[in-house]
Amino acid sequence: MKVIENNKIKEKLYIEKLENGLTVMVIPRKNVRKKYIICGPNFGSIDNKFIIPGNTETTELPDGVAHFLEHKMFEQESGVNSLDTLTALGVNANAYTTNDHTAYLYEATDNFYDALDEYMDYIQNPYYTDENVEKEKGIIGQEINMYEDYPEWQVYLNAMKCMYKELPIRLDIAGSIDSISKITKEMLYDCYNNFYTPSNMAMVICGDFDPEEVIEEIRKRITIKENKELPKRIYPKEAEEINQKEIIVKMQLSNPIFAIGFKDKVEKDMVKKHIAIEIILNTLFGKSSKLYRELSEKNILLGTLDLEYDYSKEYAYILINGQSREPKKVIQRINEEIENAIKNGLNEEDFLRNKKKIYGDHIVEYNSVEETARMFLVDYFKGVNSFDYLEEYENVTKEYAEKVLKQVLDKSKEVTSIVLGNEE
């Protein structure tokens, strides 16, 4: 077992790769009642084209298969839904699908190991039939239609469509009514058998555990023994340039919402870059920024700006989201602030204050067993150890941040997505 200790927060990470290839990470928390586990494959919505080992032909899936598969994992051959079983044990269970991974999780104060029996059982024993697949199409179809009516989802998706021309990140994770109609139980089993293999999965456990004991409990419940070769994933070649500059749509809502996106590229040192971008965004547009105060006092910006930087091994982007009666004016002022920062640099006092704030916010995440476990799983699939962020903060200087600012907040890589009210 490998042990990594971070002296800054006095935390230890225990990592063991089991015989079948599953990576298990444990972050012990003495005297904490809540226990949390999260596990899943490095398989998400963008993984819809690949070559299965031993085959020469390319397998191409309809959009939405990873999400569909996640929905079907809880249904058992006995007719019992594992979510119901877990709920009856008093644990809070859930699952989600992203662009690059899928995760199954639960939190518990009692009955952790009773719940672990059910959890490990449904993750390792999928049950798909023609009938239950057809039934699920109606359920997911309703979900797709529901999200089409959510302005917040549409403003995000349109920003992705502006940035990306080929990569499936531009598509709804759930797919479309048309694409899910093509999904069969054979497709689901193919995906499960090739991507839900232990060597393509990771598990993170956080709570009051002895690492060796809890890993042994996991080992006892493992039924999938083989360590299979993974499919070769095929992603479309995506240009560095944006796809289009702007999308504006009208929907039923009281005040317009907007998103400004900047298409970025994946590089070697993404941890340091990620930290720098978070500091930059908070310095220029956070609650303590001059621009935020100005827009709020003039009642142009409604609420705060949501500032996000997301990346995986295949994509990276910035999103700035907000609500305003005059979105074009807010977007103009944001661009003026960026131009000023590129020309004159960042205010040193503001930079240092926000650097401390971002570091503090990161430390606070470790207070939660849920946030800690999720963080380590998400970062693992990016090829990152979450502790790396804590070590890298001191290396992010104002000069480095200004260099990143000029590279990433590039006007040629900027897109805007706006949702107006129907009457506007």
Active site residues: 70
Label the pairing between strands 35-41 and 414-421. unpaired
Q: How many CA atoms lie within 13 A of 390 on its CB side?
A: 19
Task: State residue 261 phi and psi, 5-degree precision.
Answer: -120, 150
CB 169 within 8 A of CB 316: no
Give the 3-state secondary structure of residue 150: coil
Burial class, 281, CB count within 10 angstroms (exposed 0-12 / middle 13-18 / buried 19+) = buried
At residue 251, what are phi and psi to the nearest 5 degrees?
-145, 175
Nearest to 91 by CA among 117, 122, 121, 115: 115
Rounded CA-CA distance 39/287 in Å is 35
DSSP per-residue letters across 327-394 = HHHHHHHHHHHHHHHHHH---HHHHHHHHHHHHHHHHHHTT-HHHHHHHHHHHHHTT--THHHHHHGG
